[in-house]
Structure 1
C-alpha cells in the first residue's frame, strides 16, 4: 500500500515543520500550506487522505476552508482534524457542525494527534469512503453519488480503466504501479477542473478502475482529452527502451515472456440520451460494457 498523504495547514512555521518531520518519520507523505487558499488549491491538485487544519489562518479561517471542502463534491469526503488555540465549547461545536472529524487544542500531545490521524484515515477506509492508494472517494461514496445522479437530468457517467496495468505491475513492481494510479488520479482532477465544474465527481472504484460523473455537454471533450493525455504522459513511467520500442516484455499466465503494449486508458461513456436506466446497477454495467468495447477498439 502507498503512503497516506497528510496536508498540514498551519501558518506557524515552527509547528508545521515539526509536524512534517514527525509524520514523515511515521511513514506519511506530508504537504504543508500556510494559508487557507493555498490549502484549497493544493487539495485540488493532489488529494490528501487527511487534513490537519489550523483555525486561525492569515487569509480565510479554518472554518471557511472546511466549509469549502465539504460543499465541493470532489473534496467532501476528506477527513479534517481541527488544530487550534481555542478551547471554547462553541468553537468545537462550530467545527463539528461543518463536518470536521476531530478537534485537538494547542498545546497538543503529538502522540495523541498521531492516533487521531490514524483512526480517522482507518475509519474512512473501513467505511469504504476513500481508496487507500489514491485518496479519492470509493465504494459507498460512489454509490451515494450515483443514486443522486440517476434522479437528475443532463448527466454523464464514465467508467475508466487502465489497459495493461497488471502487466506493468508485474514487471515494474507495486511502487511504480502505485505511482501510475496516483498519476491517473491527478490527471483526472486536472482535466475535470479544466473542462468540467466543481460539482463533477471523481471516484476510485478500486485497482485500476476510476469513475467520473459530469454533465452530458462536457463529457465527450473530457473523455477525449483524458485518453489523449493519459496515453502520452503515462509513457514517462516506462524505461527508455520500453518507450522507444513501444511495448515491454511481460510474463503471461504460464510465466512465458511475451510482448505487452504500453498502458492506455479505456473509457466507457453513458448518459440518459444514449441509454435508459432502471437503477444504478444498470448505469455501471452498461458503462463497463462500453469501456470494454472501447478497449477492444483500441487493441484492434
Structure 2
C-alpha cells in the first residue's frame, strides 16, 4: 500500500468489521467464532479477487477486521456483493431458536445481559482522491473512521468518504 501511495496511484481502501461478533463469540464459543472469521475472510477474498484479479489486496488485520484495496471504480459494487453474501450466510452460524428470534442474549462489555441482533458487516471506504495520504496509516485511519460511521446504522452497510 505504501508503494502505491508513494507513486500517487489512485485506489480505494475498504475497512470491514463484524457487528456483534464479541457477543456471538461469548455465547457460541471460540471455535464457532473462528469459523465465522475464516468464512468471512474467504468471502471477502473471493469476491475481491473475482472482481479484480490483479492489483488488488485483501488483508486480515486481526480479530474481525479486514481490509481490501482495489480500483476505485470497483469498490462500491464489491462492497455491496460482500454485504449481500455475508447477510445470506451468517444466520447459518446461529442455533435455530436464535435465528428465528433474530437475536441472541449475551453479556455486553460491562457484564450486563443484553439482546444482540444477528451479526452484520460494516464497511468503511475511502480513496486516494479524497485526501493526501503520505503514509498508509493515514488512509487506513480514514477508512476506519468511515467504518465507525457505518457501524452507527442498523444492519450490514457501507459508507463512502465523500469529503
Question: TM-score normalised to the size of structure 1?
Answer: 0.49
Structure 1 stretches of 4+ moved >4 Å? none
Number of residue-to-residue matches in the alignment: 154
Aligned-pair CA distance for 1:157? 0.7
Matched, 1:243 2:105: no
Counterpart in 2 of 1:147? 2
Distance in 2 (CA, whole Å) between partners of 1:172 and 1:185 is 19
Select the structure with the greater relative contact order (CA < 8 A; seq sep ≥ 6): 2
Counterpart in 1 of 2:53? 197
Distance in 2 (CA, whole Å) between partners of 1:223 and 1:253 is 29
Residues 49-198 of structure 1: matches in 2 within 5 Å?
Answer: 146-150=1-5, 151-198=7-54
Distance in 2 (CA, whole Å) between partners of 1:278 and 1:148 is 10
Matched, 1:210 2:77: no
SS in 2 for 1:161: strand
Distance in 1 (CA, whole Å) between partners of 2:19 and 2:75 is 20
Counterpart in 2 of 1:291? 147
Higher strand share: 2
Larger Rg: 1
Question: TM-score normalised to the size of structure 2?
Answer: 0.88
Superposition CA RMSD, Å: 1.4
Structure 1 gaps of 5+ residues are 1-145
Counterpart in 2 of 1:262? 118
Counterpart in 2 of 1:276? 132
* Deviation sequence 1:265-287 (CA, Å, 0-9, x none): 11111112233323212101111
